Amino acid sequence: MNYLDQIQRGVDYIEANLEQPISISAVASGAGLSQWHFQRIFKGLTGDTVKDYIRSRRLGKALEQLLNSDKKIIDIALEADFESQESFTRAFKSAFDTTPAEYRKAGKKRPFPQKVKFDQDYLEHINKRMNTVPEIYKQKEMHLVGLRTSFFGTDSEKNNIGEKLPPLWQQFIARLSEIKHTVGGTCYGVVRQITENSDELEYFCAIEVTALTDIPDGMLAIKIPVCTYAKFMHNGAVNLIDNTINYIYSTWLPRSGKRHANTTDLEFYGADYNPSSDASVMHYAIPIN
């Protein structure tokens, strides 16, 4: 089964359970993926978090029920898994700029969010026919030393990447000279999942070393195992890296016939990286098998 089929299975699970509580871990399990990988690929494909998509589908179904049934608004709200009519009304007005009662009274049909169908045409539309070809290479075992934090990425409704990663890099760069036995000038961002049924990630700012001795206080050693990687170039500001990552997960990976190896994603910050320049170049690599 390929990624597109698995994401579609997750969407089918959501559709079948719109009238009851839905956990993201259950959706991911139904798709046969870990929660993090399901959320990342889903966000890359749709631009929405899974939570946002579930809400949009429930609101879409509510639109249909308001026009085509005599159900009370409170019953529609509860079926859509809102705690009260008031919370449903707030969400409805935020999405459609009208209240459920006003919408029903007007009786005017309007487009509402449809079930997503993941196919090649859809992917090409989302990515504007991008044609990025990665370098496929064999990553040797590599030892790094750096600083660690945990965070939630942009594909999670708990997204706190802006609060966690920039300060960590500032701390790391300020202490880079403390690290002994370094290799070259390339620094790495190391991204990996903490547990399978969570979208919480751990992140390291690090540099390669030839020996794991004299590790500075507060820093950690990280081992990158031997693995095949697909390495993509990212041109431009680092705050646009999500565009590159979304392409990798939403277009290249589903089409490639490869699978994510469930180890460590790597960011490469070398001599061509300049955070203040639009001509900056960095790389993002995912482990594949």
Per-residue pLDDT of the chain (289 residues; tens, 9 = 90+): 678 889 889 999 998 998 888 999 999 999 999 999 999 888 888 778 898 888 888 888 888 888 889 999 999 999 888 889 999 999 888 877 789 998 888 776 556 666 766 666 665 544 543 446 899 999 999 999 999 999 998 878 788 999 999 999 999 999 999 999 999 999 999 999 888 778 899 999 999 999 999 999 999 999 999 999 999 988 888 887 887 888 888 778 877 888 899 899 999 999 999 988 878 899 999 999 9
Nearest to 104 by CA among 77, 65, 59, 57: 65
**In whole angstroms, what is the distance from residue 289 CA to residue 271 CA?**
29
Give the DSSP H/E element, type plus range, for residue 151: strand 142-152
Q: Which residue has the tokens 């008031």?
A: 86
**In whole angstroms, what is the distance from residue 256 CA to residue 136 CA?**
12
Taking 3-state DSSP, the helix, strand and coil percentages for the chain, each rounded to the nearest 5, stand at 45, 25, 35
**In whole angstroms, what is the distance from residue 27 CA to residue 25 CA?**
5
Residue type, 283: H
Is 92:58 a contact under the CB 8 Å cutoff? Answer: no
Nearest to 165 by CA among 154, 151, 179, 145: 151
**In whole angstroms, what is the distance from residue 193 CA to residue 202 CA?**
6
Q: Say what the pTM is.
A: 0.77
Helices (H), the chain: 3-16, 24-31, 35-46, 50-68, 73-79, 85-96, 100-106, 120-127, 161-175, 241-247, 253-256
